[in-house]
Amino acid sequence: CNHGIPEGDSFYPVKRVIRCKMQKGIQMKLVEWEPCSLCGKTWPPQWVTEENTTN
């Protein structure tokens, strides 16, 4: 599902940060993604680097 995400855009809305951890000196966040606002599709939580998240 890529509704509403312009081609080439890499921003996906995060519902919440579930946990944080350090892995090999890199801050990681387990994020819960917002469901698609058009079709309701959901995605499982995913570990992402802190530099790939914004507040």
Task: State pLDDT tens for residues 14-50.
Answer: 999 999 999 999 999 999 999 988 888 999 999 999 8
* 7/39 Cα distance (integer angstroms): 18
43 falls within a domain: yes
The reported pTM is: 0.74
Cβ neighbours of 29 (radius 10 Å):
19
Number of domains in the chain: 1
Residue ranges making up the domain that contains 48:
14-52
51 pLDDT more than 70? yes
Encoding tokens for residue 12?
């996906």
Identify whether the C-beta of residue 20 lies closer than 8 Å to the C-beta of residue 27: yes
pLDDT grade for 54, boundaries at 50, 70 and 90: low
6 falls within a domain: no
| Beta-ladder partners of 19 | 30
- In this structure, the dihedral spanned by the alpha carbons of residues 3, 7, 10 and 16, taken in order and rounded to 10 degrees, is -10
